[in-house]
Structure 1
Amino acid sequence: MRIALDAMGGDYAPEAIIKGALLAAEQLEKEDEILLIGQEEVVHSLLKEYGYTGQNIKVVNATQVIGMAEHPTKALSQKTDSSIAVGYGMLKAQQADAFCSAGNTGAMLVGAMFSVKTIEGIIRPTIAGFVPKLSGGFGVILDVGANAECKPEVLEQFGETGSIYAKYVLGIENPKVGLMNLGEEESKGTVVTQAAHQRLKNNPNVNFVGNLEGRDLFNDKADVIVCDGYTGNIIIKMAESIYEIMHEKNIKDPFFDNFNYETAGGSPILGINGNAVIGHGVSSPLAVSNMVVLAQKMISSKISERFRKNYSV
């Protein structure tokens, strides 16, 4: 498999990205390749500086970089030789099986929509996050930032796509789906969440367990947590802050270590014709390595093909 990695994206690029690629290369199979996309001379120079002599990291030249604060659509249209544009071009041309970047999140989303495009039948692609469970393992929460406002039918579809991801990537046989709300009762919530509850309840393709409250995030009530991107983003950022606070206070616990963004490495974009993972802007080498490993799992599970099969008419 070939995993394209944006060498220029992120607050600590390219150094942290290339170090992460070196860590990931140690975990991949011999025949797997990491395709580092970026300014060729810079990337080759750093690989040499870090003593890399292996064969499964290749360099793909991209002369331009999209900054973290640039307008996504404008930057992609004007910087056609940027590392993000080149990465998506390779994904579309099937020269890469996955594309990962810790760069401009908006550009990653816009790039997906205009290159590999949304799978037919998917209303809105979604960014998925991961929630550690007290009993072990992880659940998946979606959306965590792509869609700040969602119609009921979109939330329903998040339950479907989240279930497929949980089954084939996380290995949960019959994932339980819950709708994040402000109460357990069906009558609770906004007009949107009330309607979404009824749609999920009557959907034979999901194992719907009802509404969830905030206290249910880390227990076993649900494996798939459905919410709009506004709510999901707040939840994920709050979880990250818990780890940071405990780290500052020198409190160590294996469960709370899973709140560290480095553990998951990134957030997959679900519902597009290909495998794409968005990393945290401050990604460290460990986070980058785990982002690549996450992409490897997505490729192995054939998750994008499973989405297409599920929504094909």
Structure 2
Amino acid sequence: MKIGLDILGGDFAPEATIQGAILASKQLADGQQLVLIGDEQIAKQHIEQAGGNPAFFEYVHAPDQIGMNEHPTKAIAQKPNSSISVGFQLLKEGAIDSFASAGNTGAMLVGAVFSVKTIPGVLRPAIATNVPKIKQGFGILLDVGANADCKPEMLPQFGLLGSLFAEHVYGIQSPAVGLLNIGEEEEKGNMLTLGAYPLMKDNKRINFIGNVESRELFSDKADVVVCDGFAGNVVLKLAESFYMLTRKKGFSDSFFDRFNYEQYGGSPVLGVNAPVIIGHGISSPEAIKNMVLLSKNMIESEIIEKIKSAFN
């Protein structure tokens, strides 16, 4: 197993990515190799400065970086030696089994679709994120940013992608799938949700339980909640603020502590032909570590093969 990590991606790279790689390497078993993609000399220097052993890692030299504000498609095409471009080339060739980066989100999406490509039968890939539940555990919310505008037929597919991920990566049996909406009644919603509801209701491959209001998002009503990428991204960023607000207010709560993005590491891009993880731009070493471990879990679960089988 070879886990690819972009060490130049993120606001605090390469310090945070290298420190996270060192933390992750301590939890990898024999035969599980972390491949660092970026400036090799800088990587080795930072590993030594952090007290790690450079010999524990593999390296692929990629000296260029795609900035957070660069146009994704242009940057991928014009910077073939960037860490993201090289990472996806390695993934396409099978030289690595997964690729993770806390760099430019758009470039990660473009790279995934144009290199390893979308799984046949999947209309559009979706980005998934974890949503803490008030009692215990967490659910899955998707899409949270890959598709700002969706067609109704895309949402049942998101439900299936989320169900497969919840079941095979997180061990949630027969996950309940809900449609994020402004009311519980079937006739509530906009053109998108009104069109998607009957399609999800008729889809026998998912355990559809109906509409889910935003106030129910953190309850046990649904394990997988489906929405378009615009609504999902709004919900995601609001939820991310909860943890920071508790810190600013000077109190700690076990539920709100679980909104700390560091615990989950990154968001998987579901629906492409290889494990791809997008990390938060402000990823800390702890977040990078957990992003690597999520990559490992996705490889071990063979989730990509299970999605391919479901859509074939």
Look up the match of 2:58.
58
Structure-1 separation of matches of 2:75 and 2:26: 34
8 Å CA contact retained: 2:99, 2:275: yes
8 Å CA contact retained: 2:88, 2:112: yes
* TM-superposition CA deviations, 1:141-174 (whole Å, max 9, x none): 0000000011110011101111111110110110
**1:257-272 matched pairs, under 5 angstroms:** 257-272=257-272
Kindly indicate whether residue 22 of structure 2 is the aligned counterpart of residue 16 of structure 1: no
Look up the match of 1:124.
124
Letter in 2 for 1:123: L
Look up the match of 1:187.
187
Look up the match of 1:284.
284
Structure-2 separation of matches of 1:256 and 1:63: 39
Look up the match of 1:152.
152
Look up the match of 2:215.
215
Deviation at 1:54, TM superposition (A): 6.2
Structure-2 separation of matches of 1:160 and 1:54: 41
Letter in 2 for 1:135: K
**1:68-217 matched pairs, under 5 angstroms:** 68-217=68-217
Structure-2 separation of matches of 1:137 and 1:197: 26
Structure-2 separation of matches of 1:56 and 1:142: 35
Structure-2 separation of matches of 1:207 and 1:109: 28
Letter in 2 for 1:281: G
Letter in 2 for 1:170: Y
8 Å CA contact retained: 2:37, 2:62: yes
Structure-2 separation of matches of 1:135 and 1:95: 41
Comparing 56-65 with 72-81, greater Cα deviation is found at 56-65
Letter in 1 for 2:105: T
Q: TM-score, normalised by structure 1?
A: 0.98
Letter in 1 for 2:82: S
Comparing 89-98 with 277-286, greater Cα deviation is found at 89-98
Structure-2 separation of matches of 1:105 and 1:288: 15
Structure-2 separation of matches of 1:130 and 1:41: 35
Size of the aligned set, in residue pairs, is: 312
Structure-2 separation of matches of 1:205 and 1:240: 31
Structure-1 separation of matches of 2:185 and 2:254: 33
Q: TM-score, normalised by structure 2?
A: 0.98
8 Å CA contact retained: 1:30, 1:56: no
Task: Indicate the SS of the match to 2:153.
Answer: helix
Letter in 2 for 1:207: N
8 Å CA contact retained: 2:47, 2:54: no
Task: Indicate the SS of the match to 1:152.
Answer: coil
Deviation at 1:256, TM superposition (A): 1.0
Structure-2 separation of matches of 1:297 and 1:234: 27
Structure-2 separation of matches of 1:147 and 1:89: 24
**1:292-303 matched pairs, under 5 angstroms:** 292-303=292-303
8 Å CA contact retained: 2:179, 2:211: yes
- Unaligned stretches of 5+ in structure 1? none
Kindly indicate whether residue 28 of structure 2 is the aligned counterpart of residue 28 of structure 1: yes
Deviation at 1:208, TM superposition (A): 0.5
Kindly indicate whether residue 231 of structure 2 is the aligned counterpart of residue 231 of structure 1: yes
Structure-2 separation of matches of 1:214 and 1:175: 18
Structure-1 separation of matches of 2:54 and 2:209: 49
Structure-2 separation of matches of 1:23 and 1:240: 24
Kindly indicate whether residue 7 of structure 2 is the aligned counterpart of residue 7 of structure 1: yes
Look up the match of 2:242.
242
8 Å CA contact retained: 1:32, 1:56: no
Structure-1 separation of matches of 2:172 and 2:109: 27
Structure-1 separation of matches of 2:307 and 2:199: 20
Structure-2 separation of matches of 1:56 and 1:85: 24
Task: Indicate the SS of the match to 1:37.
Answer: strand
8 Å CA contact retained: 1:140, 1:162: yes
Deviation at 1:31, TM superposition (A): 2.1
Structure-1 separation of matches of 2:207 and 2:246: 35
